[in-house]
Amino acid sequence: MVTHNRSNLWILLLLGSLCVVTPFAIDMYLPAFSRIAADFHRSTPEISLSLSTYFVGFALGQIIYGPLLDRFGRKRPLYVGLSMYIVCSIGCITAPDLQTFVALRFLEALGGCVAQVGAIAMVRDFFPVKESAKVFSLLFLMIGVSPLLAPTVGSLIMTSLGWRWIFVILAAIATLILALTIFLLPEGHKPDHSVVLSPRPILAGFWKILRDPQFLTYTVAGAFSFAGLFTYVAGSPIIFMDGFHLSTKDFGIVFATLVMGFIGGNQLNVLMLRRFTSQQIFFVALCIQAVIGIIFLAGMLSHRIGLAATLVLFFVFLSCIGLTYPNGAALGLASFSRDAGRASALLGFLQTGTGALISLSIGVLGSRTVIPLLWITALLALASLLVGRKLIKEPVETVADEPILLH
């Protein structure tokens, strides 16, 4: 475990660079939805299927990489996955139709997902448990900054060079991150040859992790909470560009502004952890998120929500997710050290898989499902926490160098 402060800072920056691979792949091409739809002669909601399939590939890939990260160490799987991501990003440039484009986005996600799941696992490798929630918040600050830049950069690239050049830039960014990983990132976990890669032991290992009540409770509750972010990302082009008729430039500004709520929630979490436990913050944030979801739904049904109210409600809603996600991840992974790769992979699979299914329904059912899904996922998150807490007999809190049982 790294103890030198300068080393910790450098490792944190490297892990943060890995974490931005997927946000850039998602956010940079959002302003191009209408242009892509026109080129492929499809509707904007149909183009959102390329985003949903990316989420699906991202979720499934984590299950694949989890055992590989434990078996072969962290770096070699990163080399393979990032290389696949680069190749598929270049493939998107030449996609002749929507079907090919969607398939390449799926494969792109399947490769690129190793970056985030590997980074999350390495938090447990390099930092003590008591620092994990704070480290996650700092990583999510880096993740959160990308939506401030990516839509604007994507909009400029699209208007000056065409939307296909967005994927040239994505491939170039991943190539740089791959080089940094190869030459500068230390190996945080030595290969564990006792990890068997045949299907039955892998499934048994995942089942053992899933049976941990604390992992299950905070992962499931966090998944439904985090699904609200997926709903926002998939539905925002439809709501703001099709519904409120914002221009591509204005949408980029609105998207970046609202994501400031997610960033602000993450950074507020760092301060709140000085006075409150992760459990307390997680519970209160879920309650507020559920209330906002109800207000959103009531406003939609009464036709009283305009652009200003939509912006405010989305900002608060995303701020709550900024609080729930780092604490949910820290609490879910607190019990695991040796199996951190598989545990982080399973956590990522359940959370992104839930979000992928939610966002997929938007592409299939249309824009009318966006606000109801915000309400439903928020209530399910709170209900999952209330039920799951009754099953946790000896909770593990993130307050010591090693996990401590709270009786």
Phi, psi of 57 (to 5 degrees): -60, -40
Are 140 and 322 within 8 A, CB to CB? yes
Distance (Å) of CA 303 to CA 244, 339, 396: 14, 49, 45
Question: What is the CATH code for 5-184+196-390?
Answer: 1.20.1250.20
Structure tokens at 220: 């499931």
pLDDT higher than threshold 50 for residue 54: yes
Tell me which long-range contacts 37-46 makes (C-beta under 8 A, separation of at least 24). Answer: 39/163, 40/97, 40/98, 40/101, 42/98, 44/237, 44/238, 44/241, 44/242, 45/238, 45/362, 45/363, 45/366, 45/367, 46/98, 46/363
What is the length of the chain? Answer: 407
Structure tokens at 404: 């401590």
Structure tokens at 269: 């979490």
Are 75 and 178 within 8 A, CB to CB? no
Pairing status of strand 404-405 against strand 396-397: antiparallel
pLDDT higher than threshold 50 for residue 402: no
pLDDT higher than threshold 70 for residue 6: no
Number of C-beta neighbours around residue 167 at 10 A: 25
Greatest alpha-carbon pair distance for the chain in Å reads 61
Burial of 300 (0-12, 13-18, 19+ CB in 10 A): middle
How far is it, in rounded angstroms, from Cα 184 to Cα 169?
Answer: 22
Alpha helices in 185-277 (DSSP H): 199-210, 213-236, 248-272
Q: How confident is the model at residue 367 (pLDDT cuts 50, 70, 90)?
A: low
pTM recorded for the entire structure: 0.71
pLDDT at site 2: 41
pLDDT higher than threshold 80 for residue 400: no
**Residues with Cβ within 8 Å of residue 384, at least 6 apart in sequence:** 217, 220, 221, 224
Number of C-beta neighbours around residue 225 at 10 A: 29
- For the ranges 19-28, 70-79, 250-259, 291-300, which has the lowest average pLDDT? 250-259
pLDDT, greater one: 300 or 291: 291
pLDDT in tens, 34-45: 889 999 988 877
Mean pLDDT of 308-331: 90
